[in-house]
Amino acid sequence: MTLDAGIALAGAALSAVAAFDPSGPSGTIPGPDWLRAVLPVLLGAPLVLRRRAPLVMWAAIWSVFALQDLVTRHAPQGPYFLFVLFSGAYALGAHEGLRRAIAGLAGTVPAIAIIKLAGVGLSMTVTPLAAFWLAGVLVRARSQHNALAEHNAELKRQAEHARAAERARIARELHDIVAHHLSVIVLQAAGARASGRPAGPALEKIENSGRQALTETRRLLGVLRETDPDSGLSPQPGIGELDALAASVRAAGLPVTLVISGNHAELPAAVDVSVYRIVQEALTNILKHAARADVAIGCAHEAVTIEVTDDGTEKPANPAPPGGHGLTGMRERVAIFGGELFAGPRRGGGFSVRARLPLEHGRP
């Protein structure tokens, strides 16, 4: 803004010198006193708009030149004229969209022709004018390229941060599951030893190994949770909690149908919690752009399938239940099981998320 004001003052000052100083570079501008009085203001003021409204600035400058030519019957010429015109041409190329900038430059040609026909020859050609305009276009293109590169780099950083955060979250959940099973192993081995039955050395080895693994996983959890003060020791959710999740989404204003087929009671805990998280992330995204959603969970012997679809109808955003990082989190969860994930538009409108989590060696 300060630069724009400085350029406008410079254009007005050069015009004032040309209008009132007979010894100036271009001599006194011919014409009535009122024209010479307002000409510096009329030429300098449009340059204030060089960033905010370049096309308006450009049209205003040429209107003033046309007015001067019409009143004085002398074409504009001299340093004041070239400074204002070249500054305006550069600003038009640098701060206006390409189509509008081309339109503004093209409109200059008939303006030059009219001024030439109305008076003496104009002391310039289109070539240097186009050169300043092109310089502005190149500067704008370079600036846009740098801004796009910075934006892409920021998106990449955000994606990496989201991926790392989701992996840490998955690791915490898996820790809780593994720690539970290790605790069971330790307790069973200790109970078998206490019963006095044979195979004591083997059970002792199982117990010691289990205790050591449990200690190491707890140490791992401590490292993971150092950067996440909000992580707690609450039980991990699973397919059984999807009814409550659907109810919370309905309360937020999104009608949801939930269908669960097959027996999910004996699913591995890691699969159980991942199904819940994938559905949670999908519904969180749907809340932003749809009017209804359908969730279908299929629990078979060899895999669990998940399908979450929506109608894609735009509506005001509602508060979303807390979740992870959208598709990034879904991909990370599916990847740890060697599963498959598809997320994209549906034929006929809406969006679909489909995932398949294979069960290693089938059901336990």
Q: At what angle do helices 2-20 and 79-95 cross, to 10 degrees?
A: 160
Burial 239-271 (b: 16+ CB within 10 A, else e): bebbeebbeebeebebebebebeeebeebbbbb
Show Cβ contacts of residue 252 under 8 Å, excluding neighbours closer than 6 positions: 287, 318, 319, 320, 321
* Strand ranges across the sheet with 256-261: 256-261, 293-299, 303-310, 351-358, 340-345
Residue 212's pLDDT is what? 63
Q: How confident is the model at residue 56 (pLDDT cuts 50, 70, 90)?
A: very high
User: Taking 70 as the threshold, does the pLDDT of residue 113 lie above it?
Assistant: yes
pLDDT of residue 21: 66
By three-state DSSP, how is residue 67 classified? helix
The answer, yes or no, to whether residue 83 has pLDDT greater than 70, is: yes
Average pLDDT on 153-162 reads: 83
The dihedrals phi and psi of 345, each to the nearest 5 degrees, come to: -65, 150
**Kind and range of the H or E element at 259?**
strand 256-261
Can you tell me the distance from the alpha carbon of 54 to that of 36, in angstroms, rounded to the nearest whole number? 25
Distance from C-alpha of 274 to C-alpha of 269, rounded to nearest angstrom: 9
Domain layout of the chain by residue ranges = 2-124, 157-225, 239-358
- Coil/strand/helix, residue 354: strand
Summarize pLDDT for 198-215 with one digit per residue, the tens: 666 666 666 666 666 666
Residue in the block written with tokens 């409204």: 53
Closest Cα to residue 2, out of 68, 42, 50, 66?
Answer: 50
CA distance 355 to 337: 11
**What was the pLDDT predicted at 173?**
72
Q: Name the CA radius of gyration of the chain, rounded.
A: 36
Fold of the CATH domain 239-358: Heat Shock Protein 90 (3.30.565)
In tens, the pLDDT along 94-111 reads 999 889 999 888 888 777
**Beta bridge partner(s), residue 353:** 308, 343
Q: Name residue 152's amino acid.
A: N
Q: How confident is the model at residue 134 (pLDDT cuts 50, 70, 90)?
A: very high
More confident residue, 27 or 86: 86
Q: What is the pLDDT of residue 34?
A: 85
How far apart, in Å, are the Cα atoms of 176 and each of 94, 113, 221?
A: 58, 81, 9
More confident residue, 264 or 80: 264
Residue 261, strand partner residues: 298
- Per-residue model confidence as pLDDT tens digits over 313-358: 654 344 334 444 578 778 888 888 889 999 988 887 888 999 999 9
Q: Render pLDDT for 227-243 as a digit per residue (tens, 0 to 9).
A: 554 444 456 788 999 99
Per-residue buried b or exposed e for 2-19, using 16+ beta carbons within 10 Å of the residue's own CB: eebeebbebbbebbbbbb
Report the chain's mean pLDDT, rounded to a whole number: 78
d(CA 95, CA 105): 13
Question: What is the rounded CA–CA span in Å between residue 240 and residue 238?
Answer: 5
Q: What CA–CA distance (Å, rounded) separates 120 from 28?
A: 17
Whether the pLDDT of residue 222 is over 80: the answer is no
Q: Hey, what are 159's tokens?
A: 């994606």
Closest C-alpha to 123, from 71, 74, 183:
74
Q: Is the separation of the CB atoms in 253 and 319 below 8 Å? A: no
CA gap 325, 280 in Å, rounded: 11
